[in-house]
Amino acid sequence: MPRKLLLPHRAVFPPFRAPRGPHEALAMNAARSGYRVFSANSTAACTELAKRITERLGAELGKSVVYQETNGETRVEIKESVRGQDIFIIQTIPRDVNTAVMELLIMAYALKTSCARNIIGVIPYFPYSKQSKMRKRGSIVCKLLASMLAKAGLTHIITMDLHQKEIQGFFSFPVDNLRASPFLIQYIQEEIPDYRNAVIVAKSPDAAKRAQSYAERLRLGLAVIHGEAQCTEQDMDDGRHSPPMVKNATVHPGLELPLMMAKEKPPITVVGDVGGRIAIIVDDIIDDVESFVAAAEILKERGAYKIFVMATHGLLSADAPRLIEESSIDEVVVTNTVPHEVQKLQCPKIKTVDISLILSEAIRRIHNGESMAYLFRNITVDD
């Protein structure tokens, strides 16, 4: 008797219905893709900003595990499906910068191999941003990091107040460089009594443009500290003196190059009147605070009766809390782009401004394909 041929069970799929217009097509695509927000660091101090952002978005933090092996290697495990979704990785940079960078790279690569549609890094303080110029026989580490992030799978970055705006040119994908100045200006207006009697101070000529931006928006005066006590980045060797000069070097008889005169800074001085005023020093990063403490002493000598320091990124390394506490500085105001809760416990002069609102709005707009122009309104090239 012939055996019956058993045919495989035919799966029945619902008939495909084309979208009835561009709006319905976008809605169907968004429903299929969705988005998730992950934190690339599992420590409580670093996940605080990520939790604030997800609360504003009305979303839950993505399920992942980030930890260090006993041999020091970083391991990342994604605990849910991310296929076809927009993924936002929030990475705040603690004191261990290199570990934070590896966590970000490994998580981005894990999401890439898990078929995420887009991987957007939310890095409020971009590490190695001070190493964006050639120094003698060094390297431009910031460009190297940009290449590594692209190779790991990132397709977009949201950051805040890059140390040099030209850093955006190191990347092969879009970079949104948000500004913290609206939040710091709001703090000045609401928390500093009699701020109309204040003057905005740049602690070096390099910071003059930033200080001018604050002064023009607050309708206040401007002062700049200038002199030999300041050491700026431009004074460092940039590689054009390489190779080093040799004492007995032979010079072509027909080659006579003009001699570059050595720089000689004038005695330290304050350009602008700060007598009987509130002095507000503004900058993008406050790390080693010796220069800020020295500037505060000079302003005190020139008659300023109260001194505030405003900065976007409060790294506050080494003995910064102790030095601030013992200095003439009355208050240091920074944003929460970098976790600094330990430093706040050591120094009550340190205050924090929350910037999770603008980061959450940037995430929402990028996912929905909306314009980012609203977040940059009234922002000029020099800001």
Question: Does one domain contain both 194 and 278?
Answer: yes
The pLDDT of residue 25: 47
In degrees to the nearest 10, what's the CA dihedral of 255, 259, 260, 262?
150
- CA 125 from centroid of its chain's CA atoms: 2
The pLDDT of residue 287: 92
Question: What is the DSSP-derived secondary structure letter of residue 196?
Answer: G
Strand partners, 309: 281, 332
Q: Is 63 exposed, middle or buried (0-12, 13-18, 19+ CB in 10 A)?
A: exposed
Of the candidates 187, 334, 202, the residue with the CA atom closest to the CA atom of residue 279: 202
pLDDT tens, residue by residue, 247-288: 555 566 666 778 777 777 777 889 999 999 999 999 999 998
Question: Does one domain contain both 157 and 278?
Answer: no
Tokens linked to 5: 């041929």
Question: Does one domain contain both 39 and 109?
Answer: yes
Peptide bond into 243 cis (omega under 30): yes
Question: Does one domain contain both 199 and 339?
Answer: yes
The pLDDT of residue 230: 44
pTM above 0.75, yes or no: yes
The pLDDT of residue 326: 96
CA–CA distance, 314 with 329 (Å, rounded to integer): 15
- Residues spanned by the domain of 133: 33-178
- CA 339 from centroid of its chain's CA atoms: 12
Question: Does one domain contain both 335 and 197?
Answer: yes
Q: Which residue has the tokens 């992030």?
A: 149
Question: Does one domain contain both 188 and 280?
Answer: yes
The pLDDT of residue 254: 66
Q: What is the CATH number of the domain that holds 113?
A: 3.40.50.2020
The pLDDT of residue 296: 95
**Pair 324, 332: CB distance under 8 Å:** yes
**Pair 230, 310: CB distance under 8 Å:** no
CA–CA distance, 284 with 131 (Å, rounded to integer): 15
Question: Does one domain contain both 162 and 211?
Answer: no
The pLDDT of residue 250: 59
pLDDT tens, residue by residue, 335-354: 999 999 999 999 999 999 99
Rounded to a whole number of angstroms, the distance between the first and last alpha carbons of the chain is 88
Question: Does one domain contain both 167 and 273?
Answer: no
CA–CA distance, 361 with 352 (Å, rounded to integer): 20
- CA 307 from centroid of its chain's CA atoms: 25
pLDDT tens, residue by residue, 147-160: 999 999 999 999 99
- 374 falls within a domain: no
- 85 falls within a domain: yes
Question: What is the DSSP-derived secondary structure letter of residue 131?
Answer: -
pLDDT tens, residue by residue, 56-69: 999 999 999 999 99
Domain total in the chain: 2
Question: Does one domain contain both 287 and 349?
Answer: yes
HSE (side-chain half, CA atoms, 13 Å) at 374: 9
Give the phi and the psi of residue 211 in degrees, each rounded to 5: -65, -40
The residues of the chain scoring below 50 in pLDDT are: 7, 11-13, 16, 22-32, 230, 235, 240-241
Question: Does one domain contain both 201 and 94?
Answer: no
